[in-house]
Amino acid sequence: MRKKVVLLAMLCISVFSFAQIENPVTWSFSSRNVSANESELVLTATIEKSWHLYSQFINEGGPVPTSFKFTPSADYELVGKVKETSPVIKTFDKTFEMDVAYFSGKAVFVQKIKLKKPELKVNGTLEFMVCDDDQCLPPDEKAFSIGVKNDKVAATETTESEPTKVILQDTISATLDTVAEPLALAKDTATLIATPENTTTGAGDYTLWAIFLAGFLGGLAAFFMPCIFPMVPFTVSYFTKSSAKGGGVGKALIYGFSIVVIYVGIGLIVSIVFGADALNNLSTNGFFNLFFFLLLVVFGASFLGAFELTLPSKWVNKADEKSSSKGLTGIFFMATTLALVSFSCTGPIIGYLLVEAATMGSYLGPAIGMLGFAIALSLPFTLFAMFPSWLKSMPKSGGWLNSIKVTLGFLELALALKFLSNVDLAYHWNWFDREVFLVLWIVIFAMLGFYLLGKLRFSHDSEVKTVSVFRLFLSIIVFSFTVYMIPGLWGAPLRSIAAFLPPQQTQDFDLYTNSLGGGNTDKVAHAPRKYSDKFHAPYNIDAFFDYEEGMAYAKSANKPVMIDFTGHACVNCRKMEADVWSTKQVLGILQNNFVLIQLYVDDKTQLPDEEQYVSNFSGKTIRTIGNKWSDLQASKYNANSQPFYVLLSADEKMLVKPQGANYNADEFAAYLQSGISAFAAQ
């Protein structure tokens, strides 16, 4: 307390004499280039004799430290923090009764930045305080503008006329984020409904690594199918008996490599046939989503025993004839024969995998998915050929193989519903809401549980006279999951699967949202807002769904804006809303401190003829609401992944750097608070 009184007294004395004292500190600003895309901002303070300027690092309760604020801009990003390059004097200050650090004569501060364009200006403000042996001047604030020019940046600059480059940069960024979070990646890959690198989903969790892992898991599942597992002893014995010691291992390696080549080739064919642009739009296309839904239902029915998917017998016979050839050709066609003969078992798995890989928007997605699938499928054949004694420990073929097939059939049916939900949301059919989705999942998984207990049998199933411990444990897990979903019929958030359910706001009977309380749950009466009949924000947040209308309201209310670029088919968007937006620290901020503008980039509602236009950014005709907001995001913010959050002032100035999904509620709340602070500082 004493230190605060002393400081206040010194400042009061200084104020009375301030008119007679010139500012003892003169600031100058410059920049210097350090690499092809990095420069340093140099902020230099020239201090008059007997005066001193305080360091940035002063403990609380002492003099005001020097500090810097840089105005956020899409033209650059800060690298690290401001560094002090001048000699620092450290001493014990009797006035403040603490150790302080200050500069005398001259102080140089350096901030490194990464440039996004070759020529720009960096604006900001600095705050500082100076004292001498007798008095301290009041803290002073100074605005600055520093010109930066680095011609070498031109080669890597992203311009508005290069949409393909923008998309590539987002894809690379999402991939790097995923590599940094492998545990989250492995957890979320189990469902593989997301497509982060296209215009409907968030980046970061579902990338090429995710589709590779999904393919690998699919390959392991395929190995234990009735069409493949019994072939292992026959295939391995062929290699071990037809070759001298060591030769069989070599042939087995070639056989495994041939399997990889065949399935990766299938993935590449899918990429070539569809092309990069088509793959990027599959997940938002109503026709394709309906087709994928029906396709997966057919695959599921096949696994359940309704019929068997087979390829033309002449293909199999031709491949089998070629397999008798000597050398590498014969081994390759042996692998081809395996692929053709096992299609009835692998086809549904491959089909689902290719659908997911294609709709993730990456040109390499199908090939990467098939690479993971082929490695997992070929690995057991190679290992058993290298260690033939392992065959003795292999379980015998039996009804359990068909049980795996049927189990996968139930899963295919459940996962197919996500594609139907995407279409329902994008076209506003409003009949496949959250309750309907949950009821179907509850029934499907309950039937799977009864099947595992042997209470439900299909025509091709053998009778389950006794239940093994393993099947019992699986049924316990399945029934537990089924019971877990039941409270969702009354609005329970079901956070572990919320990302894959229709949005919470489609729930007809929702006790959960009303229980959150606070904010705008009782909305202030206002005139109908544009598109409010089509969209509804989660948790009763009073949101806008049109950019111009929302910005106009923010200007009249003098509040900051959060733009949420989202999508109906965006899994990561639903996960953010369920896991992060619903928390008290975030929901309160969104309800009370921001004007929320939600822009759905995959909505299929046609714009009126007079509102349709040709994009200056992509050259495409903008015909739907989704087209309009997707074009806005790409052209204005050089991004195309969702969710994508932009914090703006009412005059459309960016407050802080935009960001995507962040599942840490405290960190996301801090991000929102930083936008509020930047808005208040304007």
Cα angle 50-56-60, degrees, rounded to a multiple of 5:
100
234 SS3 class:
helix
CA torsion, ordered 279, 285, 288, 294, to nearest 10 deg:
140
In DSSP terms, 563 is beta-bridged to 597, 646
How much of the chain, in percent, has pLDDT values that exceed 70?
75
Confidence of residue 59 (pLDDT cuts 50, 70, 90): confident
pLDDT of residue 205: 39
pLDDT of residue 562: 95
Sorted by sequence, the CB contacts under 8 Å of residue 432 that are 6+ apart come out as 420, 421, 424, 502
650 SS3 class:
coil
Say how far apart CA 556 and CA 544 lie, in whole Å: 14
Say how far apart CA 367 and CA 357 lie, in whole Å: 8
Give tens-digit pLDDT for 393-417.
777 666 777 888 888 889 889 988 8
Give tens-digit pLDDT for 528-574.
688 888 888 888 888 999 999 999 999 999 999 999 999 887 778 88
- 518 pLDDT exceeds 50? no
Give tens-digit pLDDT for 152-162.
775 443 333 33
Say how far apart CA 46 and CA 108 lie, in whole Å: 9
Q: How many residues does the chain have?
A: 682
pLDDT of residue 527: 58
Mean pLDDT of the chain: 77
Q: Determine contact, residues 28/46, Cβ cutoff 8 Å.
A: yes
Give tens-digit pLDDT for 449-493.
999 998 888 877 777 788 889 889 999 999 999 999 999 898 888
142 SS3 class:
strand
Question: For 573-595, what is the mean pLDDT?
Answer: 89
Q: Which two tokens stand for residue 513?
A: 């949202």
Confidence of residue 673 (pLDDT cuts 50, 70, 90): very high
Q: Residue 52: what are its φ and ψ, rounded to 5°? A: -140, 150
Compute how many other C-beta atoms are within 10 angstroms of the C-beta atom of residue 244: 6
Say how far apart CA 521 and CA 515 lie, in whole Å: 10
Say how far apart CA 248 and CA 230 lie, in whole Å: 20
**CA 309, 314, 318, 324 torsion-angle sign:** positive
Give tens-digit pLDDT for 597-633.
999 988 888 899 888 999 887 788 899 898 899 889 8
Sorted by sequence, the CB contacts under 8 Å of residue 252 that are 6+ apart come out as 236, 239, 381, 382, 385, 386
Q: Residue 202: what are its φ and ψ, rounded to 5°? A: -85, 155
pLDDT of residue 271: 66
List domains and CATH numbers for the chain.
Answer: 2-155 (2.60.40.1250), 167-401 (no CATH), 502-680 (3.40.30.10)
In the block, residue with structure tokens 């960024």: 173
Alpha helices by DSSP H, listed for 98-246, are: 163-179, 182-188, 208-223, 231-241
- 242 pLDDT exceeds 70? no
Say how far apart CA 682 and CA 560 lie, in whole Å: 11
pLDDT of residue 310: 66
Say how far apart CA 126 and CA 391 lie, in whole Å: 74
Question: For 354-371, what is the mean pLDDT?
Answer: 69
Cα angle 581-578-288, degrees, rounded to a multiple of 5:
120
The CA-based diameter of the chain, rounded to the nearest angstrom, is 104
Question: For 425-442, what is the mean pLDDT?
Answer: 85
- 441 pLDDT exceeds 50? yes
Q: Which two tokens stand for residue 91?
A: 């001493």
pTM value surpassing 0.85: no
Q: Which two tokens stand for residue 251?
A: 């042939």
Q: Residue 131: what are its φ and ψ, rounded to 5°? A: -140, 160
Q: Lowest-confidence range among 426-430, 440-444, 488-492?
A: 426-430
Q: Determine contact, residues 36/156, Cβ cutoff 8 Å.
A: yes
